[in-house]
């Protein structure tokens, strides 16, 4: 608890964590100053003191209300998170292309083996997106239903990775969450693409390209 009695979260990184990702996330938290993200109260080495946002994750909306409502909330959170800031962005954010290295390596190996795998197609899509980004800006890098929490200040994202790239990438992971039958329902995919297209001002087909590129990268 803080001096005034309000609770806070201590996040202590372990050696097996992706420390570089997490530390870039610390810098993103500091830069956003609570806009769309939980507030960073303090940090030292591999420890962070973070605003306690609550216990109700976006997954609860998915379970209690409906998928469309949860998607609308995630779109609103991303809009706040991607909004302009009068402060200079962190200089150590990871370029989105670096995030896709493993997909490009897998696609190259498959091509050399004479395989026409989904990874080959996804790598071509990723290269097209990365070569022609619509609006490069700081990104969360890992938006999904368990990384959005309902706080007294409204819905906020937690656990950013600190990426720099096309905002469409932040929507991509949502298509695969939760990882169950919903992911393969065409109506659900179309609904999400429509909502994110409206909130981000991107063609829904481009957002679907981000989704398949991210899906194969994750795989």
Burial class (CB in 10 A: 0-12, 13-18, 19+), 84: exposed
Cα–Cα distance for residue pair 191/206, rounded to 1 Å:
14
Active-site residue identified among 21, 142, 166, 209: 142
Helix axes 186-200, 67-81, angle to 10 degrees: 30
Cα–Cα distance for residue pair 213/133, rounded to 1 Å:
14
Pairing type for strands 163-165 and 137-139 reads antiparallel
Cα–Cα distance for residue pair 181/25, rounded to 1 Å:
31
- 92 catalytic per annotation: no
Q: Which residues are catalytic?
A: 142
């Amino acid at each position: 608890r803080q001096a005034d009695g309000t609770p806070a979260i201590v996040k202590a990184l372990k050696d097996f964590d992706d420390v570089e990702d997490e530390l870039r996330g610390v810098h993103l938290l500091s830069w956003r100053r609570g806009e769309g993200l939980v507030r960073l109260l303090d940090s030292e080495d591999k420890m962070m003191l973070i605003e306690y946002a609550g216990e109700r994750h976006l997954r609860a909306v998915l379970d209690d209300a409906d998928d469309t409502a949860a998607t609308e909330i995630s779109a609103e959170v991303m809009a706040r998170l991607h909004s302009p800031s009068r402060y200079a962005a962190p200089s150590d954010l990871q370029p989105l292309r670096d995030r896709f290295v493993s997909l490009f390596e897998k696609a190259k190996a498959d091509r050399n083996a004479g395989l026409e795998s989904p990874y080959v197609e996804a790598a071509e899509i990723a290269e097209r997106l990365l070569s022609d980004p619509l609006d490069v800006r700081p990104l969360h890098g890992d938006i999904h239903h368990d990384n959005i929490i309902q706080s007294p200040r409204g819905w906020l994202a937690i656990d950013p990775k600190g990426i720099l790239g096309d905002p469409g990438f932040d929507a991509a992971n949502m298509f695969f969450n939760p990882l169950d039958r919903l992911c393969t329902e065409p109506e659900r995919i179309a609904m999400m693409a429509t909502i994110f297209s409206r909130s981000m001002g991107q063609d829904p087909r481009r957002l679907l390209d981000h989704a398949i590129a991210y899906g194969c990268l994750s795989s």
